[in-house]
Structure 1
C-alpha cells in the first residue's frame, strides 16, 4: 500500500499532470459551455421571413425566383465591353482634389 501511495504521489507531482490536465479540462469544459451560450443565441433570435407584399409597401420590387438565372446574368455580362478601359489614379489624402 505504501508503494502504491508513493507511486500515486509521484504521478500527481509531474508538471504535465499538475498543469496539463486542469488546462485540458478548462479547454474542453469551456467548449461545451460556449456551445450552450451560442445555442441560446440562435434559439431566441428573431427570425422572420420577408414577404413580397411587405417589401412592395416599402418600395422594393422583388424578382420572381425563375426570372434571374446564372445563364441570364452571364449573357448580360457578355454584352458589357470589359476589354476597353482606362486606368484612373485616385486622389491621395495629401493632394488637392483637382481633376485632370
Structure 2
C-alpha cells in the first residue's frame, strides 16, 4: 500500500509515463494510418500492365510529335538573347532600355 501511494505521488510516474505511452503509441498509430493512405493510392493507380504500356507509348509518341511541330514553326534565325536586370539594377530603367533598343532594330 505504501509503495502504491509513493508511486502515485511521483511526478515521473504520474506525468512522464503517460506522455511516453502517448508518444510511442501515437507513432505506431500514425504508421498504420499512413500505410492505409499509401495502399489506397497504390490500389487506385493500378492498371493492367499491357494497357499501361500501350498508354505510355502513345502518350510519349504524341508528345514528341507535338514538340517537333512546335520547333519547326519557331524561327531561330531572328532569336536574340536578352539579359535580365541584376539585383542591384533598377528593373524599370533596364526594361525601358531594352524596349528602346528593340524599337531601333525594328
- Provide the C-alpha distance between the structure 2 equivalents of 1:94 and 1:52, rounded to a whole number of angstroms: 49
- Structure having the larger proportion of residues in helix: 2
1:22-63 Cα distance to aligned partner (Å, 9 max, x none): 001110111011011110111010435672223323x147xx
Is the CA contact (8 Å cut-off) linking 2:85 and 2:91 kept in structure 1?
A: no
How many residues are paired up? 69
- Provide the C-alpha distance between the structure 2 equivalents of 1:44 and 1:93, rounded to a whole number of angstroms: 52
Q: TM-score w.r.t. structure 2 length?
A: 0.51
- Provide the C-alpha distance between the structure 2 equivalents of 1:97 and 1:27, rounded to a whole number of angstroms: 58
Q: CA deviation at 1:89?
A: 5.9
Q: CA RMSD in A?
A: 3.0
User: Could you tell me which residue of structure 2 aligns to residue 36 of structure 1?
Assistant: 32
The 3 A distance-change label for structure 1 pair 94 and 20 is: farther
Runs of 4+ that moved beyond 3 A: 46-50, 91-95
Is the CA contact (8 Å cut-off) linking 1:91 and 1:97 kept in structure 2?
A: no
Which blocks of at least 5 consecutive residues in structure 1 are unaligned?
A: 62-87
Q: TM-score w.r.t. structure 1 length?
A: 0.53
- Provide the C-alpha distance between the structure 2 equivalents of 1:33 and 1:21, rounded to a whole number of angstroms: 18
Q: Which has the higher contact order (CA 8 A, sep 6+)?
A: 1
Q: CA deviation at 1:11?
A: 1.3
